[in-house]
Chains A and B, each alone.
Chain A
Amino acid sequence: MAYLSLAKIRRRKKRDGASYWLLPLLLVVLFIAILLSLGIGGVSIPPLASAGHFLSYLGLTHSDLQPQEILILEAVRLPRTALGLAIGMALGLSGAVMQSLFRNPLADPGLIGVSSGAALAVVCVIVLGDSLFASFLEATSSYSLPLAAFAGSLATTALVYNLARRQGATDVAVMLLMGIAVNAIVGSFIGLLTYIADDSELRSLTFWSMGSLSGAGEATWPSIGIMLFASLLLLRLSGPLNLFLLGETEAKHLGVATEGIKRQAALAAACATGAAVAAAGMIGFIGLIAPHLARLIGGADNRFVLPAAALIGALLIILADTIARIVVLPAELPIGLVTSFIGGPFFFALLFREFRKRRA
């Protein structure tokens, strides 16, 4: 009898528990996607050959690649892939965390204007940096863009969070309208700055407003570091963030130090988004799509959703970047265009579902 009931409990626990087993599966899919993406481009490298090449460093296999292929793989594609992974992870996680923080499934760093805030700060530093922020640039050197992006995203998060809140919950309409307002303001500023920018500044403006991974390399290492650090911080908050979904008061009654968690989550998410924008410009919709796909496959428990959103975000960026690189060979599309192209209809579908639910 005792054995029977124990077995029953174990079975039930498995059924109730989050679908953690999907995480290793996602990891495997991500690895396959990375190998495929590394092989696709002007010079194509078979996925198995590049896998063999990497394993040769461990002395497990023998590398069959030509020196030229190795150069393309290691100097061009690998840094790009690494940057893409960090950005996808950071954006997916930030989206999942912001949705929990706002208690609202439609929150996304791009939609609510956090990415735009970061981009505006970056663009200001690029165009006006020499004349207005010279001492700032000097003092911060290679960290100046990530820092500016961080300040921009943090300021926007604080603004939207405080203005869209009514009695502990955020009002969807207000939040999205705030995002529209912020995006419009940023758009006009970027337009203005485009008008006064010179040629080289203009190119980097396009880069920042449409997003691209082509800046991958040493210059983006500080940003990658910040994204990894912020992501680790965010992952640690998954348990308390679950209780946040019940409501801030309820979370406090259950023993969560809500003010501290809120501050940590908002800071780390702003940090991650800011660093992503600083390294690759505005890449929209990843923060919206990744958490939704995670919930779709494994339920709403944040202890699953957060790591899954990080993996799915990384996967989406790798896929989008591969598409961006190959559709207009030998040139490449800005990756932000690709994600918006896919994300826009996805957002539509989400809105429709929300409205249907509300009518039912």
Chain B
Amino acid sequence: MTLSVKDVSVVIGATTLLQNVTLDLIPGQFLGILGPNGAGKSTFLKVLSGELSPSHGTVTLDGIPLKVWKDEALARRRAVMPQASQLAFPFSARAVVAMGRWPYETLSSSFQNHRVIERAMAIADIRHLGKRSYPVLSGGEKQRVQLARALAQSFGTEDETDSKYLLLDEPTAGLDIAHQHAVLKAARDQSKNYGTASMAVLHDLNQAALYCDQVALISNGRLVASGATAEVMEPARLSRIFGCTIKRQAQQVKEALSFTSSL
């Protein structure tokens, strides 16, 4: 019952974007993807979501290749929060969130849809924006609406037992610090409370250390290391990958790791 990437390579033209990556998304775990710009993090997310078919290797959900899955059945299992989404038409923020319920159109009552949408909007802290027109929201507000939409999609229906997959592409980009924490907490809560396999492409080492159960490091299209956060985030390894000096210190208060970096 996992979303598995096995020996996947992505080659576009003469460029190799991903090379022999093997990784499982495990239900109940929040996985952070770290790596320098252009390392292949977003490509990896596209492979996981089924947007990009790998040139080599397989991506399977519950043992069945993603290509075999019907779009609609797949949409009930995994939700994606995109990096940026433009919408030229005056939909209200709430209507955009409600679009996340599309895969459950026939399966879920309007009462349940309503509750799920309200909950997703509360988590993303956009209840006060519900009636505002999406195109005129600020960048950060748009991001939060997209988060709520992805959450509404991944909440599913009450009687479902299949594990869900929530893929977030740089969910903290453009958000203020409080909302960055809120987004990461939402993803972690989904994993902890509902057994969702969450995955986020992140840039902040401290946030990854604070929220993620697992971390995968990607550099030059290769998976350098993956596993439990504390084991993977070795200062020497991080320094090598990111090309700058990274030091680690154990924080006494919360037992979380903290990192400082310098060139």
Chain A contact residues, CB within 8 Å of chain B: 9, 12-13, 15-16, 103-105, 169, 239, 242-243, 245-247, 249-250, 252-258, 295, 299-301
Contacts and interface: CB of A to CB of B under 8 A. Distances in A.
Interface residues of B, number: 37
B22 to A, nearest CB: 24
A300 B89 contact: yes
A254 B75 contact: yes
A249 B82 contact: yes
A20 to B, nearest CB: 14
B201 interface: no
A247 B51 contact: no
B198 interface: no
A246 B102 contact: no
A15 B90 CA distance: 15
A16 B94 CA distance: 8
B171 to A, nearest CB: 15
Interface string B64-91: 0000001111111011101001111111
B103 interface: yes
Interface of B: 49-51, 70-76, 78-80, 82, 85-92, 94-96, 98-100, 102-103, 105, 110-111, 114, 130-131, 153
Given A15-B131, A104-B88, A253-B49, 14 more contacts: A9-B114, A13-B114, A243-B102, A246-B99, A252-B50, A252-B71, A253-B51, A253-B75, A254-B153, A255-B72, A257-B70, A258-B71, A299-B91, A300-B89
13 contacts: A105-B89, A169-B86, A239-B102, A239-B105, A243-B102, A246-B99, A250-B82, A253-B78, A254-B75, A255-B72, A255-B74, A255-B102, A295-B90
Contacts of A13: 110, 114
A245 B75 contact: no
Given A252-B71, A254-B100, A255-B103, A246 B95 contact: no
Contacts of B80: 250, 253
Given A9-B111, A169-B86, A250-B85, A16 B102 contact: no
Nearest to A253: B80
Contacts of B88: 103-105, 245
B90 to A, nearest CB: 5
B13 to A, nearest CB: 16
Contact of B91 (A12, A169, A255, A301): A301
A300 B87 CA distance: 11
Contacts of B86: 169, 247
Nearest to B104: A255
Nearest to A15: B131
A246 B49 contact: no
A255 B154 CA distance: 13
